[in-house]
Structure 1
Amino acid sequence: MSERIGRLCDELRIKLHGMDRRLEALKANGAATFDQSQEVLESQLDRVEQRIYDNRVTVEAANVRVKTWLAEKKAGSAAGKDLWTERYKPHRLEVRADDAEEYAIAVFELAAAAADEAALAALQAILARNDADAAAVPETGTNSP
């Protein structure tokens, strides 16, 4: 395996592990909703929102790289036989491999961002459910006629 592919695999593994930890924490938090205060959930929501905000430039750049790669791939397949025979020159193969690696990294960055968005949505849903449940419980100590 090339050094670049090795680094790519390591980067992807680190990002995947981080996503897995965040998803496991969210799952545990969802199960323990009644044990946690509103402030704790809102704090988690704030952290996820901040992470999404901090990664916005990376996500925008990843979107551009993915769109560019897809457009170039489509243009390459539309070019036909001339590009096919040119493809096997060593420098073209190297460029193609580099582009494919960059595409893989960009797609993985988008997947990580999507996981953060999913975590944000789940936390918002938990907080909304807590609000709805609290509103449905009659207040104690009020006199009803």
Structure 2
Amino acid sequence: MSERLSRLCDELRIKLHGLDRRLEALKSNGVSTFDHSQDALESQLDRVEQRIYDHRAAVEAANARAKTWVAEKKSGLHAIHVPRNDHDKIFLLEAEADEAETYASAAFELAAAAADEAMLAVLQALLARNKADQVAFLEADPPN
């Protein structure tokens, strides 16, 4: 495995672990949403929105890289190159591996961005449910 791919796998593992921890925290907080502070949920929502905003340029670039790779694969550009000797063959295989690693990196960036978007949706749903539960509670037991 190349050093670049190994590093990418390590980064993926770390980011997935972080996402898993945040999702587990949301899940456990979601069980007691009514008791959970509205301010705490809104603060967490703000942090996720900021993270999405901060990474938007990187996500757009990753999307472009992924689309380029897919388009090149579909067009068969790689099949056009016929290696003339072993050196050409090695060069083409190395270039193909580099492109595949770039695509893997881009796909990961997009997956991480999608996870952030999903977390944002969960927080928005928790806030909406919290508000609905509060209103329902007040209507069931109106203050005197």
Superposition TM-score, scaled by structure 1 size: 0.86
Query: Aligned equivalents of 1:31 and 1:47: distance in 2?
Result: 21
Question: For residues 24 and 83 of structure 2, what CA distance do their matches in structure 1 show?
Answer: 47
Corresponding residue for residue 19 of structure 1: 19
Aligned: 1:133 with 2:133: yes
| 1:25-62 CA distance string (max 9 Å, x none) | 22122123123111111111111111111111111011
Alignment-mate amino acid for residue 17 of structure 2: H
Q: Any gaps of 5 or more consecutive residues in structure 1?
A: none
1:63 aligns with 2:63: yes
Contact kept, 8 Å, 1:63 with 1:106, in 2: the verdict is yes
Q: What are the ranges of 5 or more consecutive residues in structure 2 without an aligned counterpart?
A: none
Aligned positions of 1:51-90 closer than 5 A: 51-76=51-76, 82-83=80-81, 85-86=82-83, 89-90=89-90
Q: Tell me, in whole angstroms, the C-alpha distance in 2 between the residues paired with 1:11 and 1:135.
A: 43
In structure 1, the residue matched to 2:47 is: 47
> What is the aligned-residue identity percentage?
68
What is the rounded CA distance, in whole Å, between the counterparts of 1:131 and 1:58 in structure 2? 34
Instruction: Verify the 8 A CA contact 2:62 2:106 in the aligned structure 1.
Output: yes
Give the Cα separation in 2 of the matches to 1:29 and 1:10: 29
Aligned-partner Cα distance in 1 for 2:103–2:39: 39
Q: How many residue pairs were aligned?
A: 138
Q: Match of 2:122?
A: 122
TM-score after normalising by structure 2 = 0.86
C-alpha contact 1:12 1:105 (8 A) present in aligned 2 = no
Contact 2:65 2:106 in 1 (8 A): yes
